[in-house]
Amino acid sequence: MSTITDPTSDAALEAAARRERHRAEFMLAAFGTDVHGKPIEGFVSKTSLPSNSQILTPEDYDHYIFILRHWDTGHDKLDMMNFRRHHGRKGYRIASRYKVLEANVPAEGEEPKFQLLGLHKKQHESNDQGKWLVHLCTTDMFDAICDAHESVGHGRIKKTHNAVKDKYGNITEVIVTTFLSTCPQCATKSETLRARKEETKLSTPGFRECFQVS
């Protein structure tokens, strides 16, 4: 029988605070930003991301959604042709690689939310039709990776990346590696394992004698 945790309990509040601290550390290490995606002045992220990695800032993400929503209709005073001309080659590139879906059924008075999907094809397979995978902006990546990481029992890099890559198309192994390097539970587990290894080594018969001077 499962138990329901009171979200206002001390344990739940501490867990939530710990998760937010981890979020801040991850965002800084991975992207050099705060939790809202705002760059931290003078800070260079430890993660080396290629220019074609499809990593989207919140501003990039909203811009892609805007273009895709109006690509076939135009917007405001621009008809479809002039809208496309206005956004040029970048607009055509976005329209050829991505599509947008409405992610919710908004209640009365609410704005709809949209989800960005990117087309992924296997290299060197000309007959591959590709697969549409969800793309996230940087500020949404933490929760997706965290949920996957916890679902595999705080497994290592490959195990965690495998848990996200079939759904999310732009969470790279490099980003997952950065996430694990900032995970406090994994750090505690690693320290415990190192301590146990040292204890085992010290208690091994003959180990101490190796360092004794006759």
Q: What percent of the chain stands above pLDDT 70? A: 78
> What is the predicted pLDDT for the residue at 152?
96
Task: Flag whether 32 is in a domain.
Answer: yes
DSSP state string for the chain? ---PPPTTSHHHHHHHHHHHHHHHHHHHHHHSB-TTSPBPTT---S----TTS--B-HHHHHHHHHHHHHTTT-BTTB-HHHHHHHHHHHHHHHHHHEEEEE-S-PPTTPPP-EEEEEEE--TT-TT---EEEEE-BHHHHHHHHHHHHHHTTS--HHHHHHHHHTTBSS--HHHHHHHHHT-HHHHHHHHHHHHHHHHHHHHSTTTGGGG---
**Backbone Cα Rg of the chain:** 23
Task: Flag whether 199 is in a domain.
Answer: no
Task: Flag whether 69 is in a domain.
Answer: yes
> What is the predicted pLDDT for the residue at 190?
53
In tens, the pLDDT along 99-133 reads: 999 988 778 888 889 999 999 987 656 666 889 99
Specify the range with the lowest mean pLDDT, choosing from 38-42, 59-63, 170-174: 38-42
- Which residue range is the domain that position 17 belongs to? 10-183
Task: Flag whether 144 is in a domain.
Answer: yes
pTM: predicted TM-score of the whole model, two decimal places: 0.80
Task: Flag whether 87 is in a domain.
Answer: yes
| pLDDT surpasses 50 at 154 | yes
Task: Measure the CA–CA gap between 183 and 141, rounded to whole angstroms.
Answer: 14
Sheet strand arrangement including 98-102: 98-102, 114-120, 131-135
Task: Flag whether 119 is in a domain.
Answer: yes
| pLDDT surpasses 90 at 168 | yes
In tens, the pLDDT along 28-49 reads: 999 999 999 999 988 777 665 5
> What is the predicted pLDDT for the residue at 193?
46
| pLDDT surpasses 70 at 163 | yes
Q: What percent of the chain stands above pLDDT 90? A: 63
Task: Flag whether 202 is in a domain.
Answer: no
* Number of domains forming the structure of the chain: 1
Task: Flag whether 78 is in a domain.
Answer: yes
62 in the Ramachandran plot: left (φ > 0), alpha (ψ -120 to 50) or beta?
alpha
| pLDDT surpasses 80 at 21 | yes
